[in-house]
């Protein structure tokens, strides 16, 4: 299908109205990264862009399960706006997959668009912007035991970075992992 600029703008307005500034900026960054990956991985850019915009919209609530919540909101929005059924299903699938649902089963992430969104979100988490998010996330542990908290975040970076799906995603992730580890090593 071909989405118009107005349709994209309307989705942007809807998502921005639901999110705080931190999550909205993250969403914009993921959209940019996902479109770049979509280009090199030959994924459908319209599905990827819509999915990237919706992927964290469920974070308007703090409770767990934001991926499913985001997918539900995306479905409701896209169906109400009369998007084609296939498009809705593809977007919703990408959004559900972006947070490894189904008990951590990566083999269930099957479309190139879902893989691209997953990798873009991961690259965002490893970016300088992501460092700010990581620090916010572990701020309590940092107050209790600063070196241990940093050590744990480096371990988590190693674990998560292995989950990239696409060739271009993996390359970018490896580059970012080196840089981010160097950064954390300079802190202590
Ligand atoms: Fe997410
Ligand atoms: Fe995200």
State the CATH number of the domain containing residue 152.
Answer: 1.10.3210.10
Residue 170 to residue 176: CA distance in whole angstroms: 10
The per-residue pLDDT for 102 is 57
94 Cα to the center of ligand 2, angstroms: 12
128 — alpha (psi -120 to 50), left (phi > 0) or beta?
A: alpha
pLDDT tens, position by position, 68-84: 999 999 999 999 999 99
CA of 180 to the centre of ligand 1 (A): 20
Cα(55) to ligand 2 centroid in Å equals 6
18-27, 98-107, 124-133: least confidently modelled range = 98-107
Taking only the tens place, the pLDDT of each residue in 38-55 is 999 999 999 999 999 999
pLDDT at 1 (0 to 100): 79
pLDDT of residue 156: 93
pLDDT at 108: 86
Lowest mean pLDDT among 99-108, 138-147, 157-166: 99-108
**Residue 158 sits in which domain range?**
5-187
pLDDT band, residue 128 (cuts 50/70/90): very high
Distance of CA 16 from the midpoint of ligand 2 (Å): 14
Predicted pLDDT at 103: 58
Q: How far is the CA of 173 from the centre of ligand 1 (A)?
A: 17
Q: Which ligand is nearest to the CA of 123?
A: 2
Measured CA distances, 167 to 7, 112, 134, 171, 173 (Å): 31, 11, 25, 6, 10
pLDDT of residue 62: 85
The rounded Å distance from CA 156 to ligand 1 centre is: 16
pLDDT (mean) for 137-152:
95
Domain count, the chain: 1
Residue 5 buriedness (CB in 10 A; 0-12 / 13-18 / 19+): exposed
């Amino acid at each position: 299908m071909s989405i118009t600029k107005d349709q994209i703008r309307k989705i942007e307005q809807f998502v921005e109205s639901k999110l705080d500034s931190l999550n909205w900026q993250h969403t914009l960054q993921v959209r940019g990264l996902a479109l770049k990956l979509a280009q090199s991985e030959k994924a459908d850019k319209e599905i990827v862009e819509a999915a990237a915009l919706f992927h964290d919209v469920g974070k308007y609530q703090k409770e767990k399960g934001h991926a499913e919540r985001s997918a539900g909101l995306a479905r409701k929005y896209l169906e109400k706006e009369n998007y084609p059924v296939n498009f809705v299903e593809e977007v919703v699938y990408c959004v559900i997959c972006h947070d490894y649902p189904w008990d951590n089963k990566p083999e269930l992430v099957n479309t190139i668009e879902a893989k691209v969104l997953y990798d873009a979100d991961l690259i965002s988490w490893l970016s300088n912007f992501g460092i700010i998010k990581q620090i916010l996330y572990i701020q309590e542990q940092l107050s209790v035991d600063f070196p241990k908290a940093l050590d744990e975040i480096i371990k988590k970076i190693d674990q998560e970075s292995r989950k990239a799906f696409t060739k271009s995603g993996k390359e970018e992730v490896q580059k970012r992992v080196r840089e981010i580890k160097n950064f954390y090593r300079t802190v202590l």
